[in-house]
Chains A and B, each alone.
Chain A
Amino acid sequence: MKKVEVKVCLGTTCFVMGGSNLQELNDIIPQRYGDKVEIAGSNCLGLCSINWEYSKAPYVKVDDEVVSEATVEKVLEAIDKKLS
């Protein structure tokens, strides 16, 4: 089975607007999903530049799905949906 890929945007905007708290995912995801999910930090995903939507930062990508105003809970929910 193909792994679910989680990309946490570490661009300045996402980091400042709350992305720093998403670093918890680095611990939670391997514990919870083992090999099924891969998590990596990413340079600016460019999402904050679309219509200048910094107010919806931080962004996380779960495969192709964009999670805006991302929180740990929202990202886990998106992963669960992909896996089910």
Chain B
Amino acid sequence: MAGQAIHIKKEILVRIIKAFLSDDFEEQTRLIPYAMRPKGMEVPYRCCVYKERAIIKDRTIAGLGFPIEEDDETVSLGTYAKKALERTEISDKNLTVLQAACKGCKTNRIYVTDLCQGCVARPCQTACKFGAISIVNGRSVIDDSKCKKCKMCVNACPYNAIVKITVPCEDSCPVGAIKKDETGFASIDYDKCINCGRCTAACPFGAVHERSQIVDILKAMKSDKKVIAMIAPSIAGQFPGNIYQLKTAIIKSGFDDVYEVAQGADITAKTEAKEFLERMEGVNEKNAEWLNAWVNEGGYGEEEQTSEKDNEKVHNFMTTSCCAGYNQLIKKHLPEIKPYVSDTKTPMYYTAEIVKKEYPDAVTVFISPCVAKRAESFENPNVDYVMNYEELGALFVAQKIQITELDETKYVVESSKQGRNFGFTGGVAESVKAALPDEKAVKPLVINGLNKDSIRQLKKFATSGECEGGCNLIEVMCCEGGCIGGNATINNQKTAKKLIDNLANTSKDIEKI
């Protein structure tokens, strides 16, 4: 995300946490905009210090877990802080838009710039299939009511004089869930939103916020209950120090115990490998059956049998099921692929199950690279809260925890190399392969990031029942690069991958099924 916008969001999180840990949460929260933009300060971004404070107030509302859209500006941050302390339930609408920041962004349209030379050939007019371009005073003009934004004129102009004005959040959304409406403000259609978090990272004004559950988590830490952190595999590349020092740091920050979700990833990999074998054996048996039937019936010429095969789980390929963004996509936009998706649960699911067995009364917190896992947590009663990497980082900053200076704490269960590799593209398919007795049985295809093209591709596989190039295992990662490309990651992908490699290469191999 744009550097400064993310810096401000993190600073606000740190201040909220510090306010919570102080003697007067409400008053300290109320003062956040004034502390960040004190009287007389040079105004960094906007027209005046008052506007800056108003925007910071809005961002703080999101940090306290409330929707910015519903704020009527009369309620003080102190009151919001109080409401956050009092609430017992959290909303499953995980994102909120700071619409005041949308002002700087023009609506999506095609626009003829001053570079238009008013040429004689007028290729733009010829290219437009909708008659939207006319010539006024020797220059091309677009009638927005007729324009379908097909960009034919943009491509036709030899002077590059016609441009498409893009809205970054709209452009980044793979499912058309965020749109600037007629008033010019962006809003999210939660019926369509798959919680991929792409818009939070794409907006140069940092307008899209996750609704943080940090206050609820801090509250749980203050209570008598044990609070257990479950750290996603991609975390190994996100902080200084190693994951054993990280465990010490997380405990120091207020948690009672830490589990590696890579432990659950090992279960996912093995369960998925078993399921893969069953499904593929099913395919072979079914093919043999059909062949026999076909031969017995005398080969060609017989009417095609429409069997009830769709009800049986026999399909030529299987897709992975651990990415929360992909699971949301299946539910909301791609139901036709459901029969091909493995029934295996996610690493978070298995880990939370283990934790709740060992600590039945504990509050469980999944430490996440992305907003999509928040959506998954609402479907899983074993996961109480989700805290993203930025929020965990803020928790360390607020308490001055230096990870690299801490001792190491071991995990009760050491996860495998493959489980620890779940967080980047290709890692999940590799782990399923490694868990199989015969690795050659897998012909993987990796979908590295959901976008309009890859969604179309998946749709094609689902309708035709065949995957490209005879592949039989499709790994789907919503984010490009995998979880290390999640919207709430701290480190850049290259170094994150290197750090994960360092850990994985010293870890044991996964057991075969």
Interface of B is mostly: helix
| B238 to chain A: closest residue by CB | A20
Chain B hits for A11, CB < 8 A: 240, 402, 404
Chain A hits for B490, CB < 8 A: 15-16, 20
Chain A hits for B491, CB < 8 A: 20
Which of A17, A49, A57 counts the most B-chain CB atoms under 10 A from its CB? A17
Q: Mark B1-33, 1 if CB is under 8 A from A, else 0.
A: 001001100110010000000000000000000
Interface of A is mostly: helix
| B79 within 8 A of partner (CB) | no
Q: Mark A40-54, 1 if CB is under 8 A from B, else 0.
A: 000110001100001
| A18 within 8 A of partner (CB) | yes
| A29 within 8 A of partner (CB) | no
Interface residues of A (CB under 8 A from B): 10-13, 15-18, 20-21, 23-24, 43-44, 48-49, 54-55, 57, 69, 71
Chain B hits for A44, CB < 8 A: 402, 405
Chain B hits for A10, CB < 8 A: 240, 404
Given contacts A17-B10, A55-B36, 4 further A-B contacts (CB under 8 A): A12-B249, A16-B239, A18-B7, A20-B490
Given contacts A12-B403, A13-B397, A44-B402, is CB(A23)–CB(B240) below 8 Å?
no
Chain B interfacial residues counted at CB < 8 A: 25
| B349 within 8 A of partner (CB) | no
| B489 to chain A: closest residue by CB | A20
Given contacts A20-B490, A20-B492, A21-B492, is CB(A15)–CB(B400) below 8 Å?
no
Contact indicator B7/A17 (Cβ below 8 Å): yes
Chain B hits for A43, CB < 8 A: 402, 404-405
| B283 within 8 A of partner (CB) | no
Tell me the complex Cα distance, A57–B396, Å: 14
Tell me the complex Cα distance, A49–B401, Å: 12
Tell me the complex Cα distance, A23–B397, Å: 20
Tell me the complex Cα distance, A18–B3, Å: 8
Contact indicator B11/A49 (Cβ below 8 Å): no
| B396 to chain A: closest residue by CB | A12
| B184 within 8 A of partner (CB) | no
User: Contact partner of B492 among A13, A23, A49, A54, CB < 8 A?
Assistant: A23
Tell me the complex Cα distance, A35–B270, Å: 51
Contact indicator B10/A16 (Cβ below 8 Å): yes
User: Contact partner of B401 among A12, A69, A71, CB < 8 A?
Assistant: A12
Contact indicator B240/A15 (Cβ below 8 Å): yes
Given contacts A12-B239, A17-B10, is CB(A71)–CB(B397) below 8 Å?
no
| B287 within 8 A of partner (CB) | no
Chain A hits for B371, CB < 8 A: none
Which of A20, A48, A71 counts the most B-chain CB atoms under 10 A from its CB? A20
| B394 within 8 A of partner (CB) | yes
Chain B hits for A12, CB < 8 A: 239-240, 249, 393, 396-397, 401-404
| CB proximity of A35 to chain B, nearest CB, Å | 24
Tell me the complex Cα distance, A54–B14, Å: 9
| B502 within 8 A of partner (CB) | no
Interface residues of B (CB under 8 A from A): 3, 6-7, 10-11, 14, 36, 239-240, 249, 390, 393-394, 396-397, 400-405, 490-492, 495
| B498 to chain A: closest residue by CB | A23
Tell me the complex Cα distance, A44–B390, Å: 19
Contact indicator A21/B239 (Cβ below 8 Å): no
Chain B hits for A71, CB < 8 A: 3
Chain A hits for B393, CB < 8 A: 12, 15-16
| A9 to chain B: closest residue by CB | B240
Tell me the complex Cα distance, A12–B390, Å: 12
Given contacts A10-B240, A55-B36, is CB(A16)–CB(B495) below 8 Å?
no
Chain A hits for B404, CB < 8 A: 10-12, 43
Tell me the complex Cα distance, A54–B395, Å: 12
Tell me the complex Cα distance, A20–B249, Å: 18
Chain A hits for B394, CB < 8 A: 16
Tell me the complex Cα distance, A15–B489, Å: 12
| CB proximity of A17 to chain B, nearest CB, Å | 6
| A43 to chain B: closest residue by CB | B404
| CB proximity of A82 to chain B, nearest CB, Å | 24
Chain B hits for A23, CB < 8 A: 492, 495
Tell me the complex Cα distance, A21–B7, Å: 12
Contact indicator B402/A69 (Cβ below 8 Å): no
Chain A hits for B495, CB < 8 A: 20, 23
| A20 to chain B: closest residue by CB | B491
Tell me the complex Cα distance, A24–B397, Å: 23
Chain B hits for A69, CB < 8 A: 7
Tell me the complex Cα distance, A20–B490, Å: 7
Tell me the complex Cα distance, A11–B3, Å: 19
Which of A10, A13, A23, A24 counts the most B-chain CB atoms under 10 A from its CB? A13
User: Contact partner of B400 among A13, A20, A21, CB < 8 A?
Assistant: A13
Tell me the complex Cα distance, A69–B403, Å: 21
| CB proximity of B315 to chain A, nearest CB, Å | 42
A-B contact pairs, 8 of them (CB 8 A): A12-B239, A13-B397, A20-B491, A21-B3, A23-B495, A43-B405, A44-B402, A55-B11
Tell me the complex Cα distance, A55–B7, Å: 8
| B392 to chain A: closest residue by CB | A16
Tell me the complex Cα distance, A17–B394, Å: 8
Tell me the complex Cα distance, A18–B6, Å: 9
Contact indicator A16/B397 (Cβ below 8 Å): yes
Chain B hits for A24, CB < 8 A: 492
